Amino acid sequence: MKQSNYFNPTLRDNPADAEIKSHQLLVRAGFIRQNAAGIYSYLPLGKKVLMKIESVVREELNDAGAQELLMPAIQPAELWQETGRWDVYGPELMRLKDRHDRPFALGATHEELITSLVRDELSSYKQMPVILYQVQTKYRDERRPRFGLLRGREFIMKDAYSFHSSEEQLDDAYDLMHETYSKIFTKLGLNFRPVVADSGAMGGKDTEEFMALSSVGEDTIAYSDESDYAANTEMAEVTVEYSKPDESEEALAKGEAETSPDREIHTSLLKVNDELVLVLVRGDHELNEIKVKNLYGTDLVENVKQEIDVKEFDGTIIADNAIKSIVNGSIKGATAYHNVNPERDLSIERFEDLRFIQEGDPSPDGKGKIVFAEGIEIGQVFKLGTKYSEAMGATYLNEGGKAEPIIMGCYGIGISRTLAAIAEQNADENGLNWPMSVTPFHVHLIAINVKNEDQKTLSDRLYDTIRKERYDVLYDDRKERAGVKFKDADLIGVPIRVVVGKKAAEGIVEVKRRDTGESFEVSVDELNSKLQKLFEQLG
């Protein structure tokens, strides 16, 4: 492709609303343009990368035996009413009316749609297992779209759904998709980790997220420095055993006393369902309300802003396990106490794991210590069970001829989000830097001075000979100064650059790697073997 007529508007400056480098660079390098908040156009360079990511995803999914289909983005409201989700989701679910005033949703995801499809088609255990997938545009009206493609209101997702006649079959599909995702993200050159995303109970893994490590990620991962244990910090369980130091217990006294944080008792008053519960955590820890929700099996947990006197409180008191380690502790606030010995002075109903895990805590699998990292969620795998098939009457006849609800799994990859994550992980201060697996072009050919006959002739010739080797070549044949061409080439981030300059007459060109900046002078007749070697290195 010759840049002299390529639609690739590059910019010198960062767009005002772009806060992270992948967003800044994708706009400046002419890969995307915003049309509205969280809504983007992919220009030719961006579209080429999207297609490469999709082809890696398709290759691995097809290899795994999944079958590609395509569902509509416009979904009849009735389907979402059958599962009750029409009323569960608020303004995030984009809705519209057709010309007959009938209500529709713009697809945020496709569980309802796919279940309505299979309930008419899958009727026997003999037809399962089956994994169906699509690559489709999704719509979610995020309150605060930001970070470019990382959190958009229209985005591209590969969503897959699996259908089974037994839990074992679902487990096999789940494991197969987990393995397939690892292959995909490895091929895309991402630094990623699968993360336990559901109730931290090890083994009961029915939801995992694939996180691309990045400081701009919105999720925090707790992972072991010695094993492959990794979980969302809100899910990670704390397995520290606490015991009381042998220290003489002083008499309880009113009033404040200076103690170290690990001897302080922090109280949180919560309304759980409709019951008041006082939760105690040690001063150097933080209450994890998700764990309170999981403990009581409810989402109805809210903070009650009210000062209480723990000695007067006659509701339920529960404590994080670390409270067991406190001797002569202190409680601050309106009604302060010191020399508090929790098990002696407070009627604690139960000790549980209620705190957020911290860096340095032992990994729950007993191997190594916990380290934190930010991550971008680029994929997720779910065991759905029969939630949708029961709600929508999708049943099959089992071996005994009895109708059973179909058992389902679902598996997503954020395609456009993955593009941004790859950009985020590989970019440097000069611009984008694409791995060979997704780069929009393999070689960036630059003629320094197209008015110079030697340079122009040689460049035109190389443009043909390099493409004959099946390389995709972006040829900068513009009447621009060298500096402009190099800046644009750094921005766009094609992995290998061939520069035709002053030594064209001697048949010498420069070959340069975008990732390391290494450059080599090469004679024209060695060029193709040099490119071949570089390709092997860059994989």
3-state secondary structure of 157: strand
Q: Cβ of residue 99: shortest distance to ligand 9G3, in angstroms?
A: 24
Residue 510, Cβ density class (10 Å: 0-12 exposed, 13-18 middle, ≥19 buried)? middle
d(CA 418, CA 190): 9
Amino acid of residue 365:
D
- Counting contacts by CB under 6 A, is residue 438 touching ligand 9G3? no
> Count of alpha carbons within 13 Å of 475, Cβ hemisphere only?
22
- Counting contacts by CB under 6 A, is residue 89 touching ligand 9G3? yes
Q: How is the chain split among helix, strand and coil, in percent rounded to 5?
A: 30, 30, 40
- Contact with ligand 9G3 (CB under 6 A): which of 108, 222, 346, 446? 108
CA distance between the termini of the chain: 23
Radius of gyration of the chain (CA): 29
- Contact with ligand 9G3 (CB under 6 A): which of 45, 56, 61, 93? 93
- Counting contacts by CB under 6 A, is residue 338 touching ligand 9G3? no
d(CA 52, CA 189): 13
- Counting contacts by CB under 6 A, is residue 116 touching ligand 9G3? no
Residue among 160 and 357 whose Cβ is closer to ligand 9G3: 160
DSSP line for 56-76: HHHHHHHHTT-EE----SEEE
Task: Tell me if 237 sits within 8 A of 220, measured CB to CB.
Answer: no
Q: Cβ of residue 382: shortest distance to ligand 9G3, in angstroms?
A: 6
The piece of 88-96, 180-188, 306-314, 517-525 that touches ligand 9G3 (CB under 6 A) is: 88-96
3-state secondary structure of 17: coil
Site string for ligand 9G3, 146-185 (x = CB under 6 A): -------------x--------------------------
Residue among 8 and 75 whose Cβ is closer to ligand 9G3: 75
Task: Tell me if 17 sits within 8 A of 415, measured CB to CB.
Answer: no
Site string for ligand 9G3, 130-149 (x = CB under 6 A): ----------x---------
- Counting contacts by CB under 6 A, is residue 426 touching ligand 9G3? no
Residue among 92 and 349 whose Cβ is closer to ligand 9G3: 92
- Contact with ligand 9G3 (CB under 6 A): which of 8, 233, 380, 439? 380
- Counting contacts by CB under 6 A, is residue 118 touching ligand 9G3? no
- Counting contacts by CB under 6 A, is residue 3 touching ligand 9G3? no
Task: Tell me if 413 sits within 8 A of 379, measured CB to CB.
Answer: yes
- Contact with ligand 9G3 (CB under 6 A): which of 412, 414, 440, 495? 412
d(CA 261, CA 248): 19
Q: Cβ of residue 369: shortest distance to ligand 9G3, in angstroms?
A: 32
- The count of residues interacting with ligand 9G3 (CB under 6 A) is 11
Amino acid of residue 393:
G
Site residues, ligand 9G3 (CB under 6 A): 89, 92-93, 108-109, 140, 159, 380, 382, 410, 412
